[in-house]
Amino acid sequence: MERTGRGTSLAGSGRHAVLVATGILLSRIAGVIRQSVFNHYFGLSDAADAFLAAIRIPNVLANLFGEGVLSASFIPVYSRLLAEKDEEEAGRTAGAVGAILALTMAVLIVVGVLSAPVLMDAIAPGYHGAKRELTIRLVRILFPGVGLLVMSAWCLGILNSHRKFLLSYSAPVIWNAAMISTLLLFGGWDLDRFAVILAWGSVIGSGLTFAAQLPAVFALAKRLRFRLETGSAQIREVLRNFGPVFVSRGVVQISGYVDTLLSSLLPESAFSALVNAQTINLLPVSLFGMSVSAAELPAMSSVLGEQAEVHTRLRLRLDEGLRRIAFFIVPSAMAFLAFGDVITAGLFQSGRFNHADSIYLWGILAGSSVGLLATTMGRLYSSTYYALRDTRTPLRFAVIRVALTTALGYLAAKPLPLWIGLEPRWGVAGLTASAGVAGWVEFSLLRHTLNRRIGRTGLPAVLTAKLWIGALVAAAAGWGVKLAIGHLNARLAAIAILGVYGVTYFAATAVLRVPEMGQMLQRARRFR
């Protein structure tokens, strides 16, 4: 049974979430800088579409075999072994999983390189001629980086289980730094040739990211032994869990595949615009959703005791995590809706990326705001299922979400803009909005089923109302500043408008006595 009390346990989880958020913040800042430099040189061009589509194709495999699958299948088993002080079996399990992943990825890389044209036709059928050939060439270069990214995710699983969150989540800074260096060193070349050089920079960055985590992994997992085996009950449990979660992640990747396919059928630059919007959208999802979920999964998986006691502790952890997520995600969604142009211009408007591109991305971000809260809270609900060793229930609901995303996405991306008199390229905004609707359906199913299993969970209605009121008041204040300053440097305008927006939100939630704001103030006083 856990030795810590409720307050200590949740406080520890909060500190771990801060470490995860710090690591993610560093990597996301580096990612935004990378994308900003990329946009400066490539803009929303055919070469940009080709590179971003090419890097997404192998990343599908990295996501399938990487962090999400290992978090659900490996971390619960490995964390339980550590909680039981069985370091010998923990090292054996981690080594076997690492060896199996390495062999699997070696085979898939060879298959991927050889089948790049087939993958290209399946994922981006709207690309033709030189654009298609460039994308195929880039896919073949980028594929070896997949194995390195997956092994980095294996390192993350070990580090997270030992509660070493900062290194694992900040390691992608190295990959971003490699990409930024490549962009700055070779910027100004012919765009097609430049894209090829950048692909090699990505592979080198993937290798450096993996290598940076290995010393800490070997220091923590002292009994680690790489060996292909499936003999122990723990290794077999990981592999059994891996199957359903792999399928579940595969279903999720189908959603990304649908986005890529539909956007490739839309006018030029639709796909690169979608990727730029997703870069911004992932900031709050990662900082305030993934950070809490990643910190809670090993903690939830380590809870031992009678079933009723386990369920009570899981409810406490889940509700506490949901409140922390909502406190930051609600204003993020409002900011996307009200100030998407300001955010985009402040981050990306430079060189080939102009004001019209910022307005275009605003529409896509507004669509993303529809499902932002559901997506982030759904991550934590899925982590709770994984802690209960249930990987099948999230799979069923993921299938439903993807089916809805596909049907609604096609309608919103293709015929809907024509029906309401919009240019076809605005279909990508409908694509993100329809995905948000599907996300709410999945979240509702996850919550309803888990509530029947462990008891009532979720955000109090009063808290939800206070958060949205605070965000609305802050949006009004931000719009006042936007109208007052008129035309100003994009980055200075973003600092002024979003600064007032943020300060007003925190002030409004303090006046409304939102507990999470009170906790932030208490922590701030302790650091004086």
- Strand runs labelled E in 214-351: none
Q: Which amino acid is at 460?
A: P
pLDDT at 5: 40
Residue 103: count other Cβ atoms within 10 Å of its Cβ: 11
pLDDT at 526: 62
Query: Which 8-state DSSP code applies to residue 414?
Result: T
Name, in order, each residue with C-beta under 8 angstroms of 90's C-beta and a sequence gap of 6 or more. 78, 81, 82, 221, 223
Residue 302: count other Cβ atoms within 10 Å of its Cβ: 18
CB–CB of 116/29 below 8 Å?
A: no
CA-only gyration radius of the chain, Å? 23
Is the Cα dihedral 142, 215, 165, 154 positive or negative?
positive
How many helices (H) and strands (E) are present in the chain, helices listed first? 23, 0
pLDDT at 198: 93
- Strand runs labelled E in 261-366: none
pLDDT at 475: 95
pLDDT in tens, the chain (528 residues): 333 344 444 444 555 566 666 777 788 788 888 888 888 888 878 888 888 888 876 676 666 666 556 666 777 787 778 877 778 888 888 888 888 888 888 888 888 888 888 877 776 677 778 888 888 899 899 988 888 888 888 888 888 778 777 777 778 889 999 999 999 988 777 888 899 999 999 999 999 999 988 898 888 887 787 877 777 777 787 777 776 666 665 555 566 666 666 766 676 677 778 878 888 887 887 777 776 766 666 667 666 567 777 788 888 888 888 998 999 999 999 999 999 999 998 888 887 788 888 888 898 899 889 999 998 898 888 888 887 878 788 888 888 888 888 888 888 878 888 888 888 778 788 888 888 899 999 999 999 999 999 889 989 999 999 999 999 999 999 999 999 987 778 889 999 999 999 999 999 999 999 988 877 777 666 655
Name, in order, each residue with C-beta under 8 angstroms of 129's C-beta and a sequence gap of 6 or more. none
Sequence ranges of the domains in the chain: 6-459, 460-528
Report how far residue 243's alpha carbon sits from residue 247's, in angstroms, rounded to the nearest whole number. Answer: 6
**Burial zone of 487 (CB within 10 Å; 0-12 exposed, 13-18 middle, 19+ buried):** exposed
pLDDT at 339: 93
Beta partners for residue 353, in sequence order: 350
Indicate the pTM of the whole model: 0.68
pLDDT at 310: 76
